[in-house]
């Protein structure tokens, strides 16, 4: 039985190696495929820049489509993670996931508006993700936010700057600044989970309806990212 498992594992590993090398070798063949946007795929930005058009305006359209897909997926994923956290008795973490889900939806809608205003049709996406334990879900969320805040959005912002696309810059910047904050909130939540101190986390979140900026305490009079008045914040205290 044990031997069987070892053999299966070996087969899977070698299969993976073959698959990866085929994937790399066949990269040029797949140029026609839409850019896969996944918060887990740290190569995405790189691949994207290799296959993209040299025209910065077209590149920005591709970036916004990828960001729309990523944010739509993140919103659905965090909503599912929120339910899982509640099931596991981590109410405070469930609220954090709900707040982040709400913010990502705002980012997706903003990106979609910029694209549609420029005449680009935005096809609906089917989010794909896996729900695991809350600890693993937090680790996944940190990985995703880190990729977006350190790689994806900085690259997309450079492209939008080159294209001189002011609306894209605004929309991408709202998301970029918010994801940096989400990353810290998820890291704090994971640290609290590890210390068995989840109950010390906030039980109220405020999400700016304009830019998705997220506060885990009473917000200032105006959003620190987009200056929207605090009366337009979405208050999250329950699931
Ligand atoms: Zn805001």
3-state secondary structure of 233: strand
Cα gap 72→69, rounded to integer Å: 5
Cβ distance 28 to 18 under 8 Å? no
> What ranges do the domains of the chain cover?
47-201
CA of 224 to the centre of ligand 1 (A): 7
- Supply the pLDDT for residue 9: 42
What's the sign of the alpha-carbon dihedral 113, 115, 120, 126? negative
Spatial CB neighbours of 62, under 8 Å, sequence gap ≥ 6 = 35, 48, 52, 53
pLDDT score for 53: 63
Helix, strand and coil in the chain, % to nearest 5: 70, 5, 25
Fold of 47-201: Ferritin (1.20.1260)
207 forms beta bridges with 214, 234
CA of 179 to the centre of ligand 1 (A): 13
Q: How far is the CA of 103 from the centre of ligand 1 (A)?
A: 10
Which positions ≥6 away from 176 have C-beta within 8 Å?
148, 149, 153, 154, 157
Burial class (CB in 10 A: 0-12, 13-18, 19+), 188: middle
d(CA 114, CA 136): 34
- Give the model's pLDDT for residue 54: 75
Tell me the Ramachandran region of residue 214: left when phi exceeds 0, alpha when psi lies from -120 to 50, beta otherwise. Answer: beta
Q: What is the C-alpha to C-alpha distance for residues 111 and 153, in angstroms, rounded to an integer?
A: 12
Q: What is the per-residue pLDDT for 27? A: 34
The pLDDT value given to residue 15: 40
Q: Is the pTM of this model over 0.85?
A: no
- Average pLDDT per consecutive 10 residues, the chain (239 residues; last block may be shorter): 42 39 37 38 42 81 98 98 98 98 98 97 96 98 97 98 98 98 98 98 98 96 98 96
How many whole angstroms from its chain centre is CA 53? Answer: 24
* 126 CA distance to ligand 1 middle (Å): 27
């Amino acid at each position: 039985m044990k031997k069987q498992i070892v053999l299966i594992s070996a087969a899977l590993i070698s299969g993976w190696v073959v698959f990866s090398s085929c994937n790399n070798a066949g990269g040029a063949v797949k140029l026609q495929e839409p850019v896969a946007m996944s918060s887990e795929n740290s190569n995405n930005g790189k691949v994207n820049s290799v296959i993209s058009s040299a025209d910065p305006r077209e590149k920005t359209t591709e970036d916004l489509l990828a960001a729309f897909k990523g944010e739509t997926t993140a919103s659905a994923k965090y909503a599912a993670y929120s339910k899982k956290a509640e099931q596991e008795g981590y109410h405070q973490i469930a609220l954090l996931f709900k707040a982040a889900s709400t913010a990502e939806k705002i980012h997706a809608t903003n990106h979609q508006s910029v694209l549609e205003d420029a005449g680009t049709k935005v096809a609906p996406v089917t989010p794909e993700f896996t729900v695991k334990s809350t600890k693993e879900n937090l680790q996944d969320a940190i990985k995703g936010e880190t990729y977006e805040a350190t790689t994806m959005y900085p690259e997309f912002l450079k492209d939008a700057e080159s294209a001189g696309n002011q609306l894209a810059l605004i929309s991408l910047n709202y998301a970029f600044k918010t994801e940096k904050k989400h990353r810290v909130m998820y890291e704090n939540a994971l640290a609290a989970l590890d210390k068995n101190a989840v109950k010390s986390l906030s039980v109220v979140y405020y999400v700016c309806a304009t830019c998705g900026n997220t506060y885990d305490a009473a917000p200032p009079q105006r959003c620190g990212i987009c200056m929207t008045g605090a009366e337009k914040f979405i208050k999250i205290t329950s699931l």
